[in-house]
Structure 1
Amino acid sequence: MQEDFRPLYHVSPPKGWLNDPNGLCEMNGVYNVFFQYSPESPNGAGIRGWGYATSKDLIHWDYKGMPIKPDHEWDANGAYSGSALINEGVMYLYYTGNVKLDGDYDYTHAGRLSNTILVTSEDAGESFSSKVRLLDNSDYPQGLSNHIRDPKVFYTDTGVGMLLGARDNEDTGLALFYETPGRDDFKNFKYKKSLRTPAPLGYMWECPDFFTLKEGEEEIGVLNVAVQGIHQAFSFCEKAGDYRYQNQYQSGYFITESDLIQKDEAITMVNGDYHEWDYGFDFYAAQSFEDEKGRRILWGWAAMIDTDYTNEPEIVTGVQHVLTMPRVLSYDSKKGLILQRWLEEYDGFIGYDFSVVDKRIKKADSSVIFEEDSATGILTGKFTSRRTYAARITELEEAGKFVLRIVGALNLEYDGEFLSLILNKSAGSGRMMRRVKVTEISSITYFVDSSITEIFINDGEYVLTTRFFSKNKSFRNEIKVELKDVQ
Structure 2
Amino acid sequence: MGEYGWINDPNGFVQYKGSYHLFYQHYPYLPQWGPMQWGHARSRDLIKWEYLPIALAPDESYDSGGCFSGSAVEKDGLLYLMYTGHVTTGPDTSNHYVQTQNLAVSEDGVRFVKHESNPVIGLRQIPEGASLKDFRDPKVFERNGRYYVVIGSNDGRGRGQILLYRSSDLKAWTYVGVMAKGGEELGDNWECPDFFSIGESDFLMFSPQRMPPQGRDYHNLHSTVYMRGRWDEESGVFHSEGYTPMDQGFDFYAPQSTLDDRGRRIVVGWMDMWESEMPTQNGHQWAGAMTLPREMVVEGGQVRFRPVEEIESYREREFALRDVELDGETVLETRGDSYELEAVFDVGDAGDAGSAERFGLKLRVGDGEETELSYSPREGVFSLDRSRSGVGPGGVRETAVPLRGGKLKLRAFVDRSSVEVFLQDGEKVMTARIYPGSGSLGIAAFSEGQCKLESLRKWDIR
TM-score range normalised by the length of the shorter chain? 0.7 to 0.9
Moved more, 314-323 or 74-83: 314-323
Aligned 1:22-421 pairs, distance under 5 A: 22-45=11-34, 47-102=35-90, 108=95, 111-125=96-110, 127-131=111-115, 132-145=118-131, 146-180=133-167, 182=168, 185-197=169-181, 199-200=183-184, 201-214=186-199, 219-232=200-213, 237=214, 242-257=215-230, 260-264=231-235, 268=237, 270-307=239-276, 310-335=277-302, 338-350=303-315, 365-366=318-319, 372=325, 380=330, 382-394=332-344, 396=346, 398=348, 400=350, 401-408=358-365, 409-416=370-377, 417-421=380-384
Query: Aligned AA for 1:251?
Result: T
User: Structure 1 residues 368, 427: CA separation in 2 closer, same or farther (over 3 Å shift)?
Assistant: farther
Kindly report the root-mean-square deviation, in angstroms, between the aligned alpha carbons of the 2 structures. Answer: 2.3
Q: Which residue of 2 aligns with 1:467?
A: 433
Residue 247 of structure 1 deviates from its aligned partner by: 0.7
Q: Deviations over 1:38-77 (max 9, x none)?
A: 11221213x3110011111222211113120001101000
Q: Deviations over 1:1-54 (max 9, x none)?
A: xxxxxxxxxxx1122110000000111221111000011221213x31100111
More strand by share: 2
TM-score by length of 1: 0.83
Q: Which residue of 2 aligns with 1:425?
A: 388
Residue 395 of structure 1 deviates from its aligned partner by: 5.3
Partner SS, residue 240 of structure 2: coil
Q: Which residue of 2 aligns with 1:360?
A: none
Query: Aligned pairs, how many?
Result: 431
Q: Which residue of 2 aligns with 1:8?
A: none
Q: Which residue of 1 aligns with 2:355?
A: none
Determine if contact 1:384/1:474 at 8 Å carries over to the other structure.
no
Residue 484 of structure 1 deviates from its aligned partner by: 6.6
Determine if contact 1:289/1:298 at 8 Å carries over to the other structure.
yes
State how far apart, in whole Å, the 2-side matches of 1:229 and 1:379 are.
39
Q: Which residue of 2 aligns with 1:4?
A: none
User: Structure 1 residues 106, 55: CA separation in 2 closer, same or farther (over 3 Å shift)?
Assistant: closer
Q: Gapped runs of 5+ residues in structure 1?
A: 1-11, 352-363
Residue 285 of structure 1 deviates from its aligned partner by: 0.2
TM-score by length of 2: 0.87
Query: Aligned AA for 1:365?
Result: E
User: Structure 1 residues 428, 350: CA separation in 2 closer, same or farther (over 3 Å shift)?
Assistant: farther
Residue 271 of structure 1 deviates from its aligned partner by: 3.2
Determine if contact 2:224/2:245 at 8 Å carries over to the other structure.
yes
Determine if contact 2:279/2:391 at 8 Å carries over to the other structure.
no
State how far apart, in whole Å, the 1-side matches of 2:141 and 2:289 are.
26
Q: Deviations over 1:394-414 (max 9, x none)?
A: 354648441211121200110
Determine if contact 2:163/2:180 at 8 Å carries over to the other structure.
no
Q: Deviations over 1:88-135 (max 9, x none)?
A: 3211100000001136x6864xx422110000111132x212333201
Partner SS, residue 242 of structure 2: coil
State how far apart, in whole Å, the 1-side matches of 2:233 and 2:311 are.
36
Query: Aligned AA for 1:81?
Result: S
Query: Aligned AA for 1:342?
Result: P
State how far apart, in whole Å, the 2-side matches of 1:206 and 1:77 are.
18
Partner SS, residue 235 of structure 2: coil
Partner SS, residue 32 of structure 1: strand
Query: Aligned AA for 2:144?
Result: D
User: Structure 1 residues 379, 169: CA separation in 2 closer, same or farther (over 3 Å shift)?
Assistant: closer
State how far apart, in whole Å, the 2-side matches of 1:394 and 1:370 are.
10
Q: Give identity over the alignment, percent.
A: 29
Partner SS, residue 348 of structure 1: helix
User: Structure 1 residues 433, 213: CA separation in 2 closer, same or farther (over 3 Å shift)?
Assistant: same
